[in-house]
Amino acid sequence: MSYEIKQDGKFKYLEEGQGEPLMLLHGLFGALSNFMPLIEFFKKTHRVIVPMLPLLELDLLHTSVGGLQKFVQKFIEHRNYTQIHLLGNSLGGHVALIHILKQPERIKTLILTGSSGLFENGMGDTYPKRGDKEYIRTKTALTFYDPAMATDELVNEVFEITNNRLKVIKIIALAKSAIRNNLGEELNEIKQPTCLIWGNNDTITPPFVGEEFNRLIPNSELHFIDHCGHAPMMEVPEAFNAVLAAFLAKQQTPVTNVG
């Protein structure tokens, strides 16, 4: 399954299907592969959009959740998307939250899964010595309920990033920015219908984080999925897609018959 990455000005993105935009924001070590089953399923009913977030390309001053939100805002304005269903996983959820708080006008609904913004267990206070692949394998496996999800391919992707000193500095800057940027006092301002989809076995943003988002975001619903860690759309795609499809179906604008 391969998709065409499009380029429009400085923006690289994937866009598949027709209908209301469903925009996906990936996490810190996220990649297109995280969303493959979701893209395949929803491109039949929505225009699925995945902007390539410049996690490691921004200058150090703007390597923050706020810097990423500004990028997403410019992308949305440049492409002139409206009525967006905005979905974010992990750090991508945090970026989505900042965006909806700052620029709610074009957003129709919000979907968060394993989102930071309130609390998260990061890579830990120390970063591994470069070249410590087994440490990376162990940490990557913690993302999932089933450690077998940490495939060699996935571990190699993360390992390659963490083997570059400048990239490591930027990852730490993003992680620290996420921890500093706690949104607890602002979440009650979100007016859009919000769907929270959480893994019952998430150790990075544990279930109580989903419950707290549900308590703080007024028009929100919370769904837990068993035997699932921090990336439900990747680990249990069928269950995730079923929850999301039911939520999106409720948001359809009813067609009124005239006369």
In this structure, the number of other CB atoms found within 10 A of the CB of residue 70 comes to 17
Q: What 3-state DSSP class applies to 53?
A: coil
Please check whether residue 236 is in contact with residue 227, taking contact to mean a CB–CB distance below 8 angstroms: yes
Q: Is the pLDDT of residue 256 over 70?
A: no
pLDDT (tens digit per residue) in 160-203: 888 888 888 998 899 899 989 999 999 999 999 999 999 999 99
The predicted model gives 98-111 an average pLDDT of 98
Q: What 3-state DSSP class applies to 20?
A: coil
Q: Is the pLDDT of residue 110 over 50?
A: yes
H helices of the chain, where?
36-42, 65-79, 91-102, 133-141, 152-162, 165-180, 207-216, 232-235, 237-250
Q: What is the pLDDT of residue 122?
A: 64
The 8-class DSSP code of residue 132 comes to -
Please give the Cα distance from 53 to 71 (Å, whole number): 8
pTM: 0.93
pLDDT (tens digit per residue) in 50-63: 999 998 898 988 99
What's 98-129 look like in SS3? HHHHHCHHHEEEEEEECCCCCCCCCCCCCCCC
Backbone CA torsion sign across 151, 157, 163, 165: negative
- The CA-CA-CA angle for residues 242, 231, 167, to 5°, reads 145
- Residue 85 parent element (H or E): strand 84-89
Higher pLDDT, 127 or 188: 188
Closest CA to 35 of 224, 235, 257: 235
Q: Domain map of the chain by residue range? A: 6-250
Domain 6-250 fold: Rossmann fold (3.40.50)
The predicted model gives 77-100 an average pLDDT of 97
